[in-house]
Amino acid sequence: MTNRSLSLRDTHGAWRRWVSMGLCVTAAWAAWIPQAPALAQSPQQQAVRVLPDFTDLVEQVGPSVVNIRTIERVRAPQEDVEIDPDMQEFFRRFFGVPMPNIPRQAPRPNNRAPEEERPRGVGSGFILSPDGYVMTNAHVVADADEVIVTLTDKREFKARIVGADKRSDVAVVKIEASGLPAVKIGDVSRLKVGEWVLAIGSPFGLENTVTAGIVSAKQRDTGDYLPFIQTDVAINPGNSGGPLINMRGEVVGINSQIYSRSGGFMGISFAIPIDEAMRVSDQLRSTGHVTRGRIGVQIDRVTKDVAEAAGLAKPQGALVRAVEPGSPAEKAGIEPGDIILRFDGKPIDSASDLPRIVGGTKPGTRSTVTVFRRGANKDLSIVVAELEPEKPVAKKGGGKPEKPKSALTVAHLGLSVSDLSEAQRRELKLKGGVHVDAATDAAARAGLREGDVILQVGNIEVANVRDFEAALARLDRSKPVSVLFRRGEWAQYALIRPGR
């Protein structure tokens, strides 16, 4: 027993020594191994990422959101009909029975049918000020005979339409109330793609419905005057005019449009940026309408081919396709084929930027417009006019053109051109150019066709066939040829690629 006890004690002692040595070696090894640097984390990254809780936002902003109901008045059909004696005789002869006797009612004043109120639509809005100004979409209140605003506390008010702007789809209505909970206006420039946003409105008439999502894109161009905020927040008919709210409880947009093939939500919604909407609402509240600037040009986007044909380093700006006679643009010297790169110091990245910037300029303002023309930038001074309703372009009647004085066929480009007659120049209001008599092969692939008028070749103006031939002689026959041509009222670029 004694020897066994000693042996056990020795074994335990040896085990402890081995463990102690192992720990020391492990510690030394760990100290020797280079330590990986700790990942730097921002306070937001260090916080536990959880789905946001919108309850506080709904309690904060919900009372400021209203339901808007519109009513139209229509005339009820006349129910009393005076029976014609000849009609009575017709029924007696051919049907063998007298026509049913319809008792006549007392005649109405002025022989007018009574008006009947019919629900027209339902939308949303939000309170701008405690004294009862409410913002919504213009299409929500358009053509309404009566507008009813319902608050979250179920109070109803007849609203007066202060003003509505169809171009921006913004409207302001006024209710006679005070002490109302107004929204806080946010800063759209701080809004980021991927940020959580909230919508409150009345989809399908269901009041105070809350939906949430993220910002999908900013500056989304839909062809309107405003760059929209795109979200995946569930927006349906009836949400129009309601607020888009950020996580600080501020309104950053007005829910205005949806992309849908069925009329319901499909994951793409658009909101008007609140900064643009506030500029419109300020004018509506002060004057009842919106004043915008205009310069009198018809524009198109600058594609990659247009940029290459014009000699631009990259597609940017707005291509001037036509200049209105007598407009500020014509007086400033802007020509069809110019590419507007800057207006009043602001860059024009895409064609849709120009009407927004010009529209936001006060009429009468003298501004500088930078155009790209024949390979170089040129600054022009222009006085902005007031935008008026668009006038339809009158179609020019034309008789048979006069026989051209000279003509030229360029086989490798597929072009046959001729001089413009005096009548053609007067009709088109052009100083020069050559008429396209035929466009085949390379020219046809580039989009040219008979009847077009070529104004420039390789950024060189051509007044007649002789200039056209001289301009072509300076160019490499194997390389693409850029031409500026006019078709009707429009001017555009084309890039003819020979030998294809």
Residues placed in the known binding site? 139, 169, 238-240
The rounded distance, in Å, linking the Cα atoms of 233 and 365 is 40
- Choose, from 64, 124, 202, 240, the residue flagged as catalytic: 240
Contacts 24+ apart (CB under 8 A), 471-474: 472/410, 472/413
- Residue 240 annotated to the active site: yes
Rounded distance between C-alpha atoms, residue 137 and residue 61, angstroms: 19
Among 64, 124, 165, 169, the active-site one is 169
Token match 């509240």: residue? 285
Question: What's the 3-state SS for the chain?
Answer: CHHHHHHHHHHHHHHHHHHHHHHHHHHHHHHHCCCCCCCCCCHHHHCCCCCCCCHHHHHHHHHHEEEEEEEEEEECCCCCCCCCHHHHHHHHHHHCCCCCCCCCCCCCHHHCCCEEEEEEEEEEEEECCCCCEEEECHHHHCCCCEEEEECCCCCEEEEEEEEEECCCCEEEEECCCCCCCCCEECCHHHCCCCCEEEEEECHHHCCCEEEEEEEEEEEECCCCCCCEEEECCCCCCCCCCCEEECCCCEEEEEEEEECCCCCCCCCCEEEEEHHHHHHHHHHHHHHCCCCCEECCEEEEECCHHHHHHHCCCCCCCEEEEEECCCCHHHHHCCCCCCEEEEECCEECCCCCHHHHHHHCCCCCCEEEEEEEECCEEEEEEEECEECCCCCCCCCCCCCCCCCCCCEEEEHHHCEEEEECCHHHHHHHCCCCCEEEEEECHHHHHCCCCCCCEEEEECCEECCCHHHHHHHHHCCCCCCCEEEEEEECCEEEEEEECCCC
Tell me whether residue 412 is one of the annotated catalytic residues.
Answer: no
Rg (CA), the chain: 36
Task: Exactly one of 139, 260, 344, 467 is catalytic; name it.
Answer: 139
Place of tokens 């339809």: 392
Residue positions forming the annotated binding site for substrate: 139, 169, 238-240
Tokens 């004294």 found at: 131
Question: Please, are residues 190 and 179 in contact by the beta-carbon 8 Å criterion?
Answer: no
Q: Is 169 a catalytic residue?
A: yes
CA dihedral 251, 254, 259, 264 (to 10 degrees): 90
Catalytic residue list: 139, 169, 240
